Amino acid sequence: MNKYIIVILVLNIQLGNAQEADRQLISSAGESATLNNFIFDWSLGEVVIDQFNPMFLQGFQQGLLGDKIIIIDKKNINYNTIITPGDGSKNETLIFDDISEPVELNIYDKWGNMLYHHNNYKNDWDGRSTKGIEIPDGVYIFILKSSNGELLKKGTVTIKRK
């Protein structure tokens, strides 16, 4: 039995003076989809996507329901992609916006070695390993999880010292 996920993505977009455009994209995994005959003119002023609510539905075939629903990156957490430890700027530490609960942060090198781990991260990582050793300039991978283990964000951060 083939299992798949149907994703319904609805964007409410405000264009300039509260003009609105709504579109739905329905596609199953492994397929590409496009929105035909719909053109946005991004020169209409400030564009604000004020709502992003993906809905995930289980797929089924021959009347049998699949056994998994996968939700990816539910929260849009912004962060500074470059830290500059010791330069006196606001980018001295890795800062994630809008984290109010205790979160776990892990930092890895490009070979997958864990360099830093903290169970109650407070936006204070300054490019040092868990043992307090300065990590060399470069690009590193991070994984941010909630206290119950839910993935909140993963990405890269660059360390740039003077």
The whole-model pTM stands at 0.54
- Residue 142 near residue 105 (C-beta atoms within 8 A): yes
Convert the pLDDT of each residue in 57-112 to its tens digit. 444 444 444 444 444 444 678 899 999 998 888 889 999 988 878 899 999 999 99
Q: How far apart are CA 140 and CA 28, in angstroms?
A: 33
Residues 5-27 pLDDT 10s:
444 444 444 444 444 444 444 44
Q: Is 132 helix (H, G, I), strand (E, B) or coil?
A: coil
What is the fold, at CATH topology level, of the domain defined by 82-159?
Immunoglobulin-like (2.60.40)
Boundaries of CATH 2.60.40 in the chain? 82-159
* Cα–Cα nearest to 138, from 119, 120, 113: 113
